[in-house]
Structure 1
Amino acid sequence: MAGEEIRQDTRTVDQIVDGMSLFDDDLMSMVFDGNIEATELLLKIILRKDDIQVISVVGQRELQSPVVGGRDIRLDILAKDSAGKHYNVEVQKKPEGAHIRHARYNSSMMDSRMLKAGQDFSELQDSYMVFITQTDIFGHGIPIYTINRYFEETDELFDDGSHIVYVNGNYKGDDTVGRLMHDFGCKEAKDMYYSELAKGVKHFKEEGGRERMCEAVEKYGDRRAESARLDNLLENVRNLMESMKWSAEQAMSAMKVSEADKAMLLKEL
């Protein structure tokens, strides 16, 4: 019986991996992690800048909040170019994951790590927060939405170096962005236009990297289960606080919540 369950679990993981595309952040992060060639291609197409020279790129980079109890984030891709500019690229299947204030928060977390003690604010490098969304969340049918700041009175650019870009993953135009988004939606490397992306997808889905991809999917399942457990616990704590007019500490004490869980829940309460 146990052996059959293991085989079923293995088949389930294999099916999940087979169905993944670059719109799945686990696969996307692995394909781009350390992959200078693919990252340069991505940024050059999206930002329409042919002179970008990426010098480093990491996938699934965690940034901790400098505030005790603040919200930490995990970046799908964090890259840096030869000019010192920083790039965070995120993929999102659901619109709520790409909320405009999510972009603002990620951008601020990047900025807060650029300057060392004693550096002048003018030394702060440009940052680019790029969301690639599977759907056209703004609904205008254009491939790319570029957000910069402007003076309202003069309509001149307020060039503070902060840039936010949304890419419409549903765009199907016959151009570089359309082909890029086509590749992001492909489940098989053979169907992709760009070899820079196809090589990584093939490695992690069909070749030596598949085992690592399967392990990541299994860990993701564990994370989802843990997240669901904490969400349920959080709801119960809130219900008890409301019904009994208790503080968070009183409610968690009555429920015998562990210290580790308390620390997690207090970030949300």
Structure 2
Amino acid sequence: MHIKPFEELTIQDNFMFQKVMRNKRICKATIERLLDIQIKDITYLEEEKSLHMNPDSKGIRLDVYVNDVDGTVFNVEMQTTKNMEELVKRVRYYQSIIDLHNIEKGQDYTELNDTYVIFICTFPLFSDNLHKYTFKNICLENYNIELNDGTTKLFLSTKGTEDDISKPLQCLLDYVDGKTSSDDLVTEMDSVVDKVKHSKEWRLEYMTLEMELRRQRKEGNAEGKAEVVLGMLEDKLSLEMIAKYTKLTIEQIKEIGKAHSLI
């Protein structure tokens, strides 16, 4: 399994997107721009970032999960793999888990918060050329009648070609697509991206997360762990630090390093 080098991470990558969105000002401004609304303030739902219907069910790990002062919940996800059938069903699943989690906290149905599930996609959507697709539940027999259940699903495409969005939103989507801009929000986001790339702590965290992903996918395949060790050795990390994060002994690390002429 290919692991993208830390230096090559962009805002499209979940790890980087999450770090940038940890800047509260950027996160708030991004949501406002995506939805063309104004928000007084946001709160990170830290303890609720990983949600499960029950201990045995498939959980979800959310990129951005916040609410505003009115209790409205915003979930924002970065999507780079095109599988429309899986994508639309995943939006449905995310919505249901967020709602059920609120119910689990003792809320009555009538107290369910309004929710926005937002997917920023780096590919064309729905065989169309729009940048923005907003979905609400409406009556098929009379399009003027909305269900008003408080749920909104929003898909955004960086590959849209129509003139259907504001210039600020266009600048944001262009940045996700790899284009530069002098837009204030984009400039601030890019500054945080640069800061993340120069952080030793976040580099280690990225390597650790990728190693765990490799462990889960390959069930502890020794070759996968060795690749992570080699990357850490190439980055001149100490043997003690590598041992801490890989759970290998220093002797095992030395053996891997010597086999590849890194020690």
**Secondary structure of the residue that 1:22 maps to in structure 2?**
coil
Report matched runs for 1:27-106 at 5 Å.
Answer: 27-33=16-22, 35-51=23-39, 53-56=41-44, 58=46, 61-66=49-54, 68-96=55-83, 99-106=87-94
**Secondary structure of the residue that 1:218 maps to in structure 2?**
helix
Structure 2 vs 1, CA of residues 216 and 185 (structure 1 numbering), >3 Å: closer, same or farther?
Answer: farther
Gaps of 5+ in 2: 222-263
Amino acid at match of 1:203: K
**Which residue of structure 2 aligns with residue 203 of structure 1?**
195
Amino acid at match of 2:152: H
Alpha carbons 1:32, 1:57 under 8 Å: kept: no
Measure, in 2, the Cα distance between the counterparts of 1:82 and 1:160. Answer: 19
The structural deviation recorded for 1:50 is: 2.5
Amino acid at match of 2:56: G
**Which residue of structure 2 aligns with residue 224 of structure 1?**
213
Task: Confirm or deny that 1:176 pairs with 2:168.
Answer: yes
Task: Confirm or deny that 1:143 pairs with 2:131.
Answer: yes
TM-score (norm 2): 0.71
**Secondary structure of the residue that 1:170 maps to in structure 2?**
coil
Name which of structure 1's ranges 154-163 and 112-121 shifts more when overlaid on structure 2: 112-121
Alpha carbons 1:43, 1:52 under 8 Å: kept: no
Structure 2 vs 1, CA of residues 60 and 24 (structure 1 numbering), >3 Å: closer, same or farther?
Answer: farther
- In percent, how many aligned pairs have the same letter? 19
The structural deviation recorded for 1:16 is: 1.7
The root-mean-square deviation of aligned C-alpha atoms, in Å, is 3.0
**Which residue of structure 1 aligns with residue 109 of structure 2?**
121
Describe the superposition over 1:46-65 as per-residue Cα deviations: whole angstroms up to 9, x where unpaired: 11113453233659921123
TM-score (norm 1): 0.69
Gaps of 5+ in 1: 1-11, 233-269
Alpha carbons 2:18, 2:64 under 8 Å: kept: yes
Amino acid at match of 2:91: A
